[in-house]
Amino acid sequence: MAPNVFQTHQVPLLRASKYYQLASIVILFYDYLITLNLEIETVWKQSKLSLANVLFYCNRYFPILSYIWIITEAYGTSGTVDEFVSLLFSLLNSVYQENTR
């Protein structure tokens, strides 16, 4: 059997993997949203850019950029990715709206 042949018993594993990916990115974005106000007050309002700020920005935003790149490479730019991103942002918006109340 060829190594690239998709097995039917792998379908539930693939589906579970996609749900885990979705859950992890939602948690990541949720963490960004709930700490954004504190970040703005403590980091963004500093008039001077320091090494600590640069390291903070790299640590804070590199995971998001790399995750977007990984999703794009893994799934391409099909309608599925567009639906995934739309669902993700609608979930984040609803979570953010709940937190601001």
CA pair distance 12, 18, nearest whole angstrom: 10
pLDDT in tens, 24-49: 888 888 988 899 899 888 888 887 88
Q: Model's pTM, two decimal places?
A: 0.54
Kindly state the average pLDDT of the residues 15-26. 81
pLDDT in tens, 55-90: 988 898 888 888 877 777 766 655 666 677 778 888
pLDDT at 6 over 80: no
Per-residue model confidence (pLDDT) at position 90: 82
